[in-house]
Structure 1
Amino acid sequence: MITYKQLVFCLLVFVSTIGPAYVHGDDSLEWVQKDNRRFLHVVYRVGDLNRTIKFYTECFGMQLLRKRENPQKKYSKATLGFGPEETYFVVKLIQKHGVNKIDIGTGFGHLGIATQNIYEMVELIRSKGGVITTEPGTLEGGGTTIFAFVQDPDGYSFELVQSGPTPDPLSQMMLRVIDLDRATNFYEKALGMKLLHKFDNPQEKYTVSIMGYGELFQSTYLELQYNYGVTEYTKGNGYIQVAISTDDVYKSAEAVKLVTKELGGNLILPPGPIPGIKTKVTSFVDPDGWKAVLVDNEDFLKGLQKKE
């Protein structure tokens, strides 16, 4: 008969053989709230990579951080932002060879850029042939924040916001959701985000939850928008995913799995190293079908050093 000590020893041996262990139950949800996280990048497709690079650098003032071609897999890729990837939120653009028209869909909202001179930027965009969909102004019925909306050459929408100096001008991303309370709860529980602000706009018939990891307007944040009465959105073929850092993809994945059981969504890539790259990641879709990738902090920084 096996003794109690032998049983415990066998269990310890088993746990040691399965690699980094998931945290169990509510412990993983508590750990997520203390994890070291930030928004790394957003990935989406464009129809003409060089045209978009020119527009983002000349009109928005972004820097081209990296560009590469992959003729075997028939795509080109570029990374742009307002500073180095180690500390800034950046965009990763992909152009599939032979595909020059992008369907953005109705679900993806916009990216946001903070600027100290919104009128100057709007006029520069206009002079470069950009589309101004909303001229600079404030919300009807109140508000002091000056904003404008413009479109890039593929039709992606950018909200420009008048602001003082900010750590990162690429300050926000907006996605539309079907159930705002469910989406807000998901990002709080599964990803450890804080609800920074919530407001309702009955004139425009929408409600927004602003989620993030730092102070509002001092760090990148995610806008989740519910439009009154809308029960379905199209995804198109443009937006791909957002990437977020974590100290442990295994613990992060366990938290996501627990929350998806309660609120919906699905873990689509189990945690572990990417073959050939060794960066540990895990990915999932939220209850509205939006994809996100969690990337190991140390591996991410090591990967950047190799690319330099």
Structure 2
Amino acid sequence: MASATNTSNYKLNHTMLRVKDPKASVKFYEFLGMSLVKKLAFPDNKFDLYFLAYDSPKAVSHGASTFDREGVIELTHNYGTEDDPNYTVNNGNKEPHRGFGHVCISVDHIQACCDRIEQAGYKFQKKLTDGRMRNIAFALDPDGYWVEIVSQNIKSTGADDPAEQGVETDVSTYRMNHTMIRVKDAEKSLKFYTETLGMTLLRTHEAKEAGFNLYFLGYGANDNETGSITAHREGLLELTWNYGTEKDADFKYHDGNSEPQGFGHICVSVDNLDAACARFEQMQANWKKRLTDGRMKNVAFLLDPDGYWVEVVQNERFAGKENF
């Protein structure tokens, strides 16, 4: 059964975030150049799902079906939260509920992109000119989730680059580049994402003086083999490991699904859902929900070593029909 699935066909399809007001959130991500490619309404269960992705003719996944893409953002809206003055999401970056870190878009001209965001009235966690890292910024979406902004030009020095001055930005060239989650034990997490899920470790950044490492993973060839740079990719996963957490028996990151909730899951789409789940079973993966559990028989959820949820769905291109 497991031989009927091939991890080279898998895609890191989407990242799910719970939102308070879908109108405000959809407007923000559309302002960043994304398009609403699918909306699923579940009125009986009192929630809606909004799937946003880059879909211009210049986009990597232009015209593809929703689950045959990478770099999708799924916004989950539970009815009534928009009218609840006490409802806020956990953005994953505040103690003691840290875990999920951010989503990241890569852009053509980072200074012009940040200027456009600021002029529209959106706030920043970190502007280009803040701190020592002057080639990255973090905007805040309407719920306070961090949206990292990086340049697709690997040589760009950001705020200090003369080439970034006086140019316009084209949102149709943007990519939903990666999703960052913090992990307790890098070795265990890398084993899960490379062996169980079949991803490739594309790049490692060691910040020894600061006491952390970053690991960038994705499906497909290593950048060194293709000659491309990770900033031009979409649908990557960034694991952040702070040294020493693996030695603390009591240390635990927040998975986003325990209260207070925020980030929900990442999702991998596969070529053959039944065969992929049979393979995960053979590899003794930990399950949150098997295909046969509950009423939803076309989605499953794995648990990674930190307890983050990993949804598994059918890539519609291989099935020849819509999932929903």
Compute the TM-score of the two structures, normalised by the length of structure 2: 0.72
Inter-partner Cα distance in structure 1 for 2:240 and 2:123: 23
Matched, 1:237 2:255: no
Deviations 1:41-74 (A, max 9, x none): 221200111011111112x111122335443322
Relative contact order (alpha carbons < 8 A, sep ≥ 6): 1 or 2 greater? 2
Mark the CA change 1:75 to 1:271 in structure 2 (over 3 Å): closer, same or farther.
Answer: closer
One of 91, 94, 101 as aligned partner of 2:73 = 91
1:37 matched to 2:18? The reply is no
Native 8 Å contact 2:71 2:178 kept in 1: no
Gaps of 5+ in 1: 1-20
Q: SS at the partner of 2:290?
A: strand
Q: Which of 50, 57, 69 pairs up with 2:30? A: 57
Please tell me whether the aligned partners of residues 125 and 140 of structure 2 are also in contact (alpha carbons under 8 angstroms): yes
Question: Aligned pair in 2 of structure 1 residues 113, 252: CA closer, same or farther (>3 Å)?
Answer: same
Instruction: Specify whether residues 274 and 171 from structure 1 end up closer, same or farther in structure 2 by C-alpha distance, changes over 3 A only.
Output: farther
Amino acid aligned to 2:116: L
1:193 aligns with 2:199: yes
Query: What is the DSSP-based 3-state SS (H/G/I as helix, E as strand, rest coil) of the residue aligned with 1:302?
Result: coil
Give the number of the structure whose alpha-carbon radius of gyration is greater.
Answer: 1
Instruction: State the match for 1:206 in structure 2.
Output: 212
Letter in 1 for 2:105: I
Aligned residue in 1 for 2:44: 72
Q: Distance in 2 between matches of 1:158 and 1:222?
A: 14
Q: For 1:135-284, what aligned pairs fall within 5 Å after superposition?
A: 135-136=127-128, 140=132, 146-164=135-153, 169-214=175-220, 215=223, 216-217=230-231, 218-230=233-245, 231-235=251-255, 236-260=260-284, 266-271=286-291, 280-284=298-302
> Partners of 1:139 and 1:163 in 2: how far apart?
21
Please, which runs of 5 or more residues in structure 2 have no aligned partner?
56-62, 82-86, 93-97, 154-169, 224-229, 246-250
Contact 2:91/2:101 (CA < 8 Å) preserved in 1? no
Kindly indicate whether the alpha-carbon contact (under 8 Å) linking 2:14 and 2:235 is maintained by their aligned counterparts in 1. no
Which is further off, 36-45 or 169-178?
36-45
Q: CA deviation at 1:35?
A: 3.8
**Root mean square deviation, CA, Å:** 3.0
Q: CA deviation at 1:269?
A: 2.5
1:289 and 2:289 matched:
no
Letter in 1 for 2:303: V
Letter of the structure 2 residue corresponding to residue 201 of structure 1: A
Change (3 A) 1:161 1:270: same
How far is 1:252 from its partner? Answer: 2.4
- Shift of residue 93, structure 1, vs aligned partner: 0.7
Per-residue CA deviation, residues 272-302 of structure 1 (Å, 9 max, x unaligned), is: 69857x7x44321111001112222247651
- Equivalent pairs: percent with the same residue? 26
Aligned residues: 268
